[in-house]
Structure 1
Amino acid sequence: MAENGKNCEQRLTGMNKEQHNGNFTDPSSLNEKKRRDREERLNIVLWRQPLITLQYFFLEILINLKEWTVKLWHRRSMVVSFLLLLAVLTATYYIEGTHQQYVKFMEKKILWCAYWVGLGILSSVGLGTGLHTFLLYLGPHIASVTLAAYECNSVNFPEPPYPDQIICPDEEGIEGSISLWTIISKVRLEACMWGAGTAIGELPPYFMARAARLSGAEPDDEEYQEFEEMLEHADSAQDFATRTKLAVQKMVQKVGFFGILACASIPNPLFDLAGITCGHFLVPFWTFFGATLIGKAVVKMHIQKLFVIITFSKHIVEQMVALIGAVPSLGPSLQKPFQEYLEAQRQKLHHKTEEGIPQGENWLSWMFEKLVIIMVCYFILSIVNSMAQNYAKRIQQQMYSEEKTK
C-alpha cells in the first residue's frame, strides 16, 4: 500500500515538474502553474481515478491521525483532565441512587441537543460540501410536529415515544387551540441547537484566515487565495458574483457586529466569505461568533421555522393537495397518493395499527428514504474526494518548497 502510494506521488510530482520548467519566480507563470495544479487535483475523484483517490484518502487519514496524536501529546495535561472528568461522569452514570432520575433526564437532553448540533455542523462544514440536514432532518421533523399538532389539537405528545414517534395524547385537545407560537415553542430547542451547530461550522474559515494574517504565511486554502485576489482586483470587478462578494465583505468590514448579524440572519451561501473577511481583518472572536450565533440560532432559525410551519399548516396542506388535483390529466393520479399518505399519518397519530394502511404511504416513504440515502452517499463521496485532493495538495506544496530552495 505504501509502495503504491509512493508511486502515485512520484507520478504526480513528475507531472508537476513538467509544468514547472518555466520561470518559477514570474508571478503570472506561478499563477498559471497553480491553476493547472488545481485542475489536476480536481480530477482526483472516485469516478475518474478510483485507485489513486482511495490511496490518497487513506494516506491523508494517516497523516491527520499523526498530526492529531502530536497535538494531543502536547496537550496531555488537558487530555488527562478530560479523561478523569469522563471517568467521574461514567461512575455517576452507573452507580445506583436517587440521582439516577436526574441523570436520565440530563442524558436525554444532552443527547438530543448533541444530535441536532452535530447535524448543524455537518450542514455548514462538510469538507467542501455540506450535508443538507435542514431539508433531510430538521425540516421534516418540524413539518411532522406541525401536522400532528393540528390533527391532535395539542402538542403534548406522550414521551416516550416522542420524539422518535409522534402520537396524539389520550386527552382530546380543544379545537382551534393550536397557534404558530405553540408549535414554535415545541420545536424551539432542536431548531436552536441546529442553528448553533451551523454557527460552529462557520469557525474554520475564520480561524484559517486569522492565523494566515497573524503569521504572514501564505495559506493553502483556495477560498482564502480567491478572497485575496478579489481584494486586489476590487476596483475592476464587473461580474455579478464578484460584486456580490465584495458587497458582503464591505458590509462585514465596515458595519462590524451588526453587519455579521445581518449576513448570518438570512439564507446566505456567501457567509463563508464573511468568516474569511472577519479572520483576515482580525475581528475579535466573540464579535464574530456572537453575531453568527445570534443570527443563525435565533433570527434565521425562527424565519425558517415559520416558513415550514406555515407551509405545513392544516389549511395550506389541504389547499396544496387540492391544487395538485387541479393539474390537467395527471392531477387526480398524483393527488391520490398524497391523500392516502396524509390519511395514513392521521391513523398513526390516533394509535391506529399499521394494518390496512394505504400503499401510498409506502410509495412516498420509499422515495424520501432513497433521497436521504443518495444525499448521504454523495456527502461521504465528497469527503473521500476532498481528503484525497488535500493529499495531492501536500505533494504539490512540497514540490513548491523544493523549487524555492533551489
Structure 2
Amino acid sequence: CPRSVDKTFHNSRALQLETKTGFNMKQSTVNSENYSQNNTSAIPSAKLENRKLAKELKSLVLWKSPMKTMKYASLELLFLAKSNVERLLKHRAVVAVLLCASIALLALILTPGQHQQIIKLFKSKGFFMIYWLGLGILSSVGLGTGLHTFLLYLGPHIASVTLAAYECSSLNFPEPPYPNEILCPESTSSYGQINPSLWSIMAKVRLEAFLWGAGTALGELPPYFMAKAARLSGNSKEEHENIQELEKLQKRKKKGEKLTFFDKGKLFMEDIVERVGFFGILLCASIPNPLFDLAGITCGHFLVPFWKFFGATLIGKAIIKMHIQKIFVIISFNENLVEKFIKFLAFIPIIGVRLQIPFKVFFENQKQRLHRNTQKSAVSGNGNLLSTIFESFVFIMVCYFIVSIVNTLAQNCCKRTRKQLHQNGSDTETQKST
C-alpha cells in the first residue's frame, strides 16, 4: 500500500512538472514572438524617427527659423560651458598649477625691467606662431563651413612676398613692420640686392607655411580621438556617424549598387588607410583632400597608434603638401607671368581692355606701397576695385563662418536632446517589459 501511494505521488509530481515546463516553454515562445515583433516594428519606427530628425535639422538654420536656431545654439553653448567646467573640476590640481603659472607670468610681463626686451621678443614671435597655427586649425576643422584659410590668408601672404621680392630685388624686409607689412629696404646700394629665386622665396615663407600646415594636422585630431574613444568604449550608440555611413556604403558595394564618385572616394580613403597604413595616411595627407576627415575616423576606429597617424599627417600636411602649395603660388605670381597674364587679358573680346585697367593699377599700387619714400598716387576707383572685391570676399566668408557655427551648435543641441528623449523612452519600455 505504501508503494502504491508513492507511485501515484511520483506520477502526479511528474505530471505537474510536465505541465509547468510546457507552460514555461509556451510562455518563452510567446515572449520571443513578442520580442521579435517588437524588434521588427522598431526598425521602421527608427527609420521614421531618423527621417523626422533629418528634416528638422535641415530647417534648423538662421535663414529659415532664426529664433529657434538662436535658442538651440544658446542652449548648446550653456551645455558645453557646463560640461567643460565639470571636466576642469575633476582635475583641480592641474587647473591650480596652470592658474598659478599664469599669474606669475602676468606679473613678470607687467613688472618693468631689462627683461622686457626678451618679453617683447617672445610676444611678437609667440603671437606669430599662435596666429598661423590657429589659422591652420580653423582651416582643418572648419566646423562644417569648408573655410580654407590658405586662400584667405597664407596664399595672399606668399603672393605678396613673391611680388615684393621681385620689386625690391631683396628679401631682407625690415622687421618691424614685416610680416604685418612688407616694405623694401631703404638702402639703395647694390649690396644685399639679389635676383630672387624660387628657393629663396620658399625659404622666406617657410616658417609660417610650416606652422599653418602643422595647424591643419592638429585640426585632424578631434575626429581621430572621437572614433577611437567610441571604439574603446564598446558602446555602439556612441559610434561616429561617419563610421556607420561607411558601413552602409560597404554593404551597398557588396550588393552591387551604383555608387557616386564621392562615395567611391570615401571607400577608397578607408581602403588605402586600412591596407597601406603609415604610407597610405602620408599619401592622403600630402594632396589636397576634402575627405581626409575619414582617414582620421578610420584610423581611430581601427585603433591605429597616435604617433603613426599624427606623424604621417604632420609630415604630409606641414612639409610635403605645403611645399607643393608654396611652389604653385610663387610660380603663379612670378613677375614675368603676371605681366603675361595682364597682356593676355587684352585678347578677351569686348571686356578685355577694361579688365586690364584694374589689374594694372592694382599691381602698380602694390609696388608703390613697398617703397617708403615714393609718393603714392591717388588711387582711383578702378585701381581699388580688386582689393575691394577681395576684402568683401573675406568679410563674406567670415560672416558665413560665424553663421555656420551658430547653425552647427543648434543642430548639435537638437540631435543631443532627441537622442536623450529616445534613450529615455527605450529605457522605460524595457523596464515595462521586464
TM over 0.5: yes
Structure 1 position 211 matched with structure 2 position 229: yes
* C-alpha RMSD over aligned residues: 1.8
Q: CA deviation at 1:168?
A: 0.5
Residue 229 of structure 1: aligned partner: 248
CA distance in 2, matches of 1:129, 1:268: 15
Cα deviation, residue 229, structure 1: 2.3
Q: CA deviation at 1:39?
A: 2.3
The SS at the match of 1:329 is coil
Find the aligned partners of 1:387 and 1:254 in 2 and give their Cα distance.
Answer: 36
Which of 188, 193, 199 pairs up with 2:206?
188
1:60 aligns with 2:79: no
Contact 1:53/1:385 (8 A) holds in 2: yes
Residue type of the alignment partner of 1:380? I
CA deviations over 1:282-308 (Å, ceiling 9, x no partner): 001111111111111111011111111
Deviations along 1:328-375, one digit per CA (max 9) or x if unpaired, are: 111111101110111111111122244423433322111111111101
Quote the sequence identity (%).
Answer: 52
Secondary structure of residue in 1 paired with 2:112: coil
Q: Do the aligned partners of residues 291 and 28 (structure 1) sit closer, same or farther apart at CA in structure 2, a change above 3 Å counting?
A: farther
Partners of 1:171 and 1:384 lie apart in 2 by 51
Letter in 1 for 2:294: L
Distance 1:370 1:313 in 2: 25
Q: Write the distance in 1 (CA, Å) between the matches of 2:54 and 2:242.
A: 12
Q: Which amino acid aligns with 2:174?
A: P
Pick from 312, 319, 333 the counterpart of residue 354 of structure 2.
333
Partners in 2 of 1:216 and 1:101 — Cα distance?
54
Shift of 1:135: 0.7
Q: Which whole-Å deviations, capped at 9, do the CAs of 1:85-141 have from their partners, x for residues lacking one?
A: 212222222333333222221211110010011111111112222322111111111
| 2:421 corresponds to 1:382 | no
3-state secondary structure, aligned to 1:369 = helix
Match of 1:3 in 2: none
1:314 pairs, out of 335, 339, 344, with 335
Q: Which letter maps to 2:162?
A: T
Partner of residue 313, structure 2: 292
CA contact (8 A) 2:357 2:383 kept: no
Q: 1:359 & 1:347 partners in 2: Cα distance?
A: 17
Partner secondary structure for residue 180 of structure 2:
coil
Q: Deviations over 1:256-279 (max 9, x none)?
A: 111101100000011001001000
Query: Does the CA contact (< 8 Å) of 2:137 and 2:215 recur in 1?
Result: yes
Is the contact between residue 226 and residue 300 of structure 2 (CA under 8 Å) also seen in structure 1?
A: yes
**Residue 200 of structure 1: CA displacement?**
0.9
Residue 238 of structure 1: aligned partner: 258
Distance, in Å, in 2 between the alignment partners of 1:72 and 1:242 is: 40
Match runs of 1:7-406 below 5 Å:
26-172=42-188, 177-217=195-235, 218-219=237-238, 221-236=240-255, 238-239=258-259, 240-351=261-372, 352-405=374-427, 406=429
Shift of 1:23: 6.6
Contact 1:340–1:361, Cα closer than 8 Å, also in 2: yes
How high is the TM-score relative to the length of structure 2?
A: 0.85
What are the ranges of 5 or more consecutive residues in structure 2 without an aligned counterpart? 1-37, 430-434
Q: Cα–Cα, structure 1 residues 88 and 25, in superposed 2: closer, same or farther, change >3 Å?
A: farther
Asked if the contact 1:344–1:358 (Cα under 8 Å) also holds between the matched residues in 2, the reply is: no
Amino acid at match of 2:367: R
Q: Which of 1 and 2 has greater Rg?
A: 2
Q: Which moved more, 1:214-223 or 1:307-316?
A: 214-223
Whole-angstrom distance in 1 between the partners of 2:238 and 2:111: 50
